[in-house]
Amino acid sequence: MNRSEKDDIYSMPLSQVGSFEFDDQVVRVFPDMIARSVPGYGSILSVIEQLATRYVLPGTDVYDLGCSLGAATRLIHRKAPLDCVIHAVDNSAAMMGRLKELLANDPDTSGRCEIRLEQSDLRHVSIRNASLVVLNLTLQFVPPEQRMDVIQRICDGLLPGGALLLSEKICFTDPEQQRLMNDLHHDFKRANGYSDLEIAQKRTAIENRLIPEPLEIHLDRLRKAGFANAAPWFQCFNFVSILATR
């Protein structure tokens, strides 16, 4: 259902590389872009579907914060009981417009629980009665000094036993490890057909928008917020996914 054009946004030399935005141009190629850029993206999505089976209880709310084109939302939707509400939240008008079209044309969505599309900044969404919250590659776009508040509000809005799935691009305090993981990620992108020019121009565009932090900072923050458990269940190079439970 999620047909995507090939991502060629940075394939030609640009006189000036502007800051990366989730606009119509990105939305058009987004599924191709994320699949060719994030190692393990497909595996993370499969596990989100698996977690929905385990954590989403009848009568509860689920939040997919920074849902983009609803890849996680639609997998959770397959497993959620009928009386749940899935809040698919993104602040990009282009993403939400396209997601609305995709859902309207998806026969799979009928006869299932409500998906509530919310074009909002995740920093202002109130989280209540939540059994599962997904932050899949989204917290990295929130300024670091505001991340504690986001995580705290998620923890406070989760029901006891509820779960947060947090996936992020991370960085490393050891410069040698940082260099190696960065190189391996670039090799991954090259193997997926991106040229050195595309990789370099994308890096310039996203540099001040996506701020990675070390894994330990994420784990500390989750514990400080009150999560009983927080552990990485997946890592590939500089991408990690953490499961945190209340």
- Residues at the contact surface with ligand GEK, assessed by CB under 6 A: 22, 34, 66-68, 71-72, 89-92, 95, 121-123, 136-138, 141-142
Q: Choose between 145 and 176: whose C-beta lies nearer to ligand GEK.
A: 145
Q: Which is nearer to ligand GEK, 85 or 94 (CB)?
A: 94
Q: Which is nearer to ligand GEK, 109 or 138 (CB)?
A: 138
142 or 164: whose CB is closer to ligand GEK? 142
> What single DSSP character describes residue 23?
S
- Cα angle: 241, vertex 25, 189; to 5 degrees: 45
What does the alpha-carbon distance between residue 118 and residue 62 come to, in Å, rounded to a whole number?
A: 13
Smallest distance, ligand GEK to C-beta of residue 95, A: 5
- Give whichever of 33 and 158 is closer to ligand GEK, judged by the CB atom: 33
- Residue 142 CB, shortest distance to ligand GEK, in Å, is 6
d(CA 123, CA 107): 32
Residue in the shown chain whose Cβ atom is closest to ligand GEK: 66
Shortest separation between residue 92's beta carbon and ligand GEK, angstroms: 3
Closest approach, Cβ 3 to ligand GEK, in A, equals 15
Within the chain, where are the H helices? 24-37, 41-55, 71-79, 93-104, 147-157, 175-191, 196-206, 215-225
Q: How far is the CB of 160 from ligand GEK (least distance, A)?
A: 25
Cα 235 to Cα 50, 84, 166, 190, 212: the distances in Å are: 18, 30, 12, 19, 14
Instruction: Let me know if 176 is exposed, middle or buried by CB neighbors in 10 A (0-12, 13-18, 19+).
Output: exposed
